[in-house]
Amino acid sequence: MAGRWQAGTRALVMALMAVVWLAQPARALTILRDPDIEHALNQLALPMINAAGLSPGQIKILVVRDSKLNAFIVDTQHVLIHSGLILKMQTAEELQAVLAHELAHIANGHITRRLANQRIASNAARFGLLAAIAVGAGTGNAQAGAGLAAGSASSAERIFLGHTRAEEASADQAALRYMALKGVDPTAMADVLDYFRGQEALSAARQDPYVLSHPLTRDRIRAVQGYAAAYAGRAKDDPAADYWFARAKGKLGAFLQNPSFTLRKVGKTDGSDIAVMRRAIAYHRIPRNDRALAEINTLAGMRANDPFVHELRGQILLESRNFAASVNAYGRAVGLAPKNPLILAGYGRALLALNTADSNGKALRALEQARSREGNDPNAMRDLATAYARNGQNGMASATTAERYALLGDLKTAAIHAKRAVGLLSRGSPGWNRAQDVLNAAKAAG
């Protein structure tokens, strides 16, 4: 545990120092966190990750809430994809083509070389900030508005999100090889590029971000089409990929699109698990609690051993203020997926809502486990601070609150809580050390 705390502290300091270098006009970057959607996207990416020779345990696919079409990498471990692009894709193969392309940028070392060619200190800070944003900004579900708006400065965005034409050609070739190797139809990449055809003739303000960050040329399109044609007929059907694509897109759309639109698209008679899930979410958002609970209970019966179904049921019950039932649902999800940090965080949140001496103790244990597995989620940190306070650990509550405000960019408030933590905690303890790191970062920021 101590080693995990220290590693998280070093990453935090880097992120905090980045705030100093990037104190300029920023564009909001909102990350939607949902364990089910992230699992589905990682299932789709897994064949491409393996083909690229990357470590599946080190790669996370995260969703940015943005209707514009884009996908990008910010480091060697995270691929970020706009919700608008996921909803635009029509097939699993198209989404896998996008993921394969971004993974190729990682495998080909494009970010690493870019860091080496820029000022080391400044870019290391940008790297830390964007990684912290990617990992930390969310609430543990994909409900509309869920997610934390965090700044990414335009200069950093240009450095990290833009690729040269040579890099694009290299990533295309590698991605097409990955797809062919795993039996995924390479023509899907040509289909994706067709979505953006002709946009370079538009003004920059009217182009999709993907075109700005991934230069699109006729030569690039022809090269992709030629390679895809050479591998025509070698693709294999993959029902599992089709399922996870439909599940990710369906759940994301149910949370982000108008509930009436979702209900019209799904209809009343479709009894598939994805349709039932989408109806449950739509009714919950209206809100029609009776209908939402009826649908989610049906889904739980259909997929009794699916942790993400029980997590969604827990969320719906929690937001309907049925706290005891929510704790039971989240508890079932934790039993099925005991290492998932987002599910653990949701379980802790439900236990805090129940607010008994026993539930507050259990909440602290669950939230500490979530933090140990993913340490940069400001919302989970807020809940963890509450759990510490309710269990009489005020020093740890202050230290955790200080880190939360630091990740949110409010170093002045962070320093206030960090000073309080230093006065309450034993010198040299993990919490005391983390509070000192926040104070050092605040001092460096002036």
- The overall average pLDDT reported for the chain is 83
Q: What is the C-alpha to C-alpha distance for residues 192 and 167, in angstroms, rounded to an integer?
A: 18
Domain-embedded: residue 2: no
SS3 78: strand
Domain-embedded: residue 1: no
- Dihedral of the alpha carbons of 48, 54, 55, 59, in degrees to the nearest 10: -70
**Could you report the per-residue pLDDT of 340-352, keeping only the tens digit for each?**
999 999 999 999 9
Q: Of 196, 230, 264, which residue constitutes the final position of a domain?
A: 230
Question: pLDDT value at position 196?
Answer: 82
Containing domain of residue 323, as a range?
A: 239-445
Domain-embedded: residue 154: yes
Instruction: Report residue 113 as tokens.
Output: 């070389």
Q: Of 230, 258, 279, which residue constitutes the final position of a domain?
A: 230
Please report which residue ranges of 337-429 form alpha helices under DSSP H: 341-354, 357-373, 378-390, 394-407, 411-424
Give the chain's domain count: 2
Is the pLDDT score of 432 beyond 70? yes
**Could you report the per-residue pLDDT of 75-126, keeping only the tens digit for each?**
788 899 999 999 999 999 999 999 999 999 999 987 766 655 544 434 334 3
The reply to whether 286 and 191 lie within a common domain is no
The reply to whether 225 and 250 lie within a common domain is no
The reply to whether 199 and 252 lie within a common domain is no
The reply to whether 155 and 290 lie within a common domain is no
Nearest to 414 by CA among 425, 427, 401, 423: 401
The reply to whether 251 and 171 lie within a common domain is no
Domain-embedded: residue 3: no
Q: Of 210, 230, 250, which residue constitutes the final position of a domain?
A: 230
CATH classification of the domain holding 290: 1.25.40.10
CA distances from 58 to 34, 52, 114, 300, 344 (A): 18, 13, 20, 31, 20
CATH classification of the domain holding 221: 3.30.2010.10
